[in-house]
Amino acid sequence: FTVAGCQAGVALPEHDRSCLSAENSGCHKLTDAASCLSSTDGRQDAKVYGLQVSGQPCVWCGGGLCHSSSGTMCEPFDFVMNGEGKAFDLFHAKLTYNLAGCKDGRPAAMQFDGYTSTILGYAPPLGPAPLVPHWVPERPKEDSLKCLTAHKGGCAAIHEMGACLSSRDGSGVMSRQGL
């Protein structure tokens, strides 16, 4: 048997979450990394099993099961990080999870110590990526590119540094692999 005691849980890190959207059905209903890592739990129930869910950032469990009690791959932070032994027996994703957060006003995968570019279980979409890595700069406005020469063969066809640095892609391809 277990005797009641006072054990502090894992505290929510102080990361920016201002760009995240509330998922009214709850984090546990999300099944892909992009949706999970851009959301907070929007359920009206503040707590489940005494653990905070409402308003908590979602945690992506690396594309695998989060815990032993269900087949979810995304859960609210307090529930999944502090639910072992309360809401479920085992937290499976201890080594593979990412937290939802924001960097430069856009969703970004987080760890306790900051941003990460490694997201296990994330399959890039065929179209533009909803989770743009934090290191990808915003596309410049057309007005700031007018001084550059459009190179019809595209940037990949340029083999001279001076030409590269004074050119822009004129191939007509708007994006490659979501970028």
Each residue's pLDDT tens digit, 49-81: 999 999 999 999 999 999 999 999 999 999 999
Percentage of the chain surpassing pLDDT 70?
A: 86
Q: Tell whether 10 is covered by a domain.
A: no
* Band of residue 178 on the pLDDT scale cut at 50, 70, 90: low
Same domain, 95 and 149: no
Residue 162, in any domain of the structure: yes
Nearest Cα to Cα of residue 101 among 12, 17, 14, 11: 17
Report, as an integer, the average pLDDT of 149-164.
87
Does 85 share its domain with 29?
Answer: yes
What's the pLDDT score for residue 6? 58
The pLDDT score that the predictor gives to residue 59 is 97
Cα 134–Cα 135–Cα 139 angle in degrees, nearest 5: 95
**DSSP codes of every residue in 99-138:** EEEEETTEEEEEETTEE-S--TT----SSS-SS--TTSPP
Task: For residue 124, tell me if it sits in a domain.
Answer: no
Q: What is the pLDDT of residue 7?
A: 63
Question: pLDDT tens digits for 12-21?
Answer: 898 999 999 9
The H or E element containing residue 162 is helix 161-165
- In terms of domains, do 99 and 159 share one? no
The string of pLDDT tens digits covering residues 88-116 is 999 999 999 999 999 999 999 999 888 88
Q: Could you tell me if 149 and 111 lie in one domain? A: no
How many folded domains does the chain comprise?
2
Please say whether the beta carbons of 109 and 101 come within 8 A. Answer: yes
67 and 110, same domain (yes or no): yes
**Domain residues for 162?**
140-171
Task: At 166, list the tokens.
Answer: 């004074």
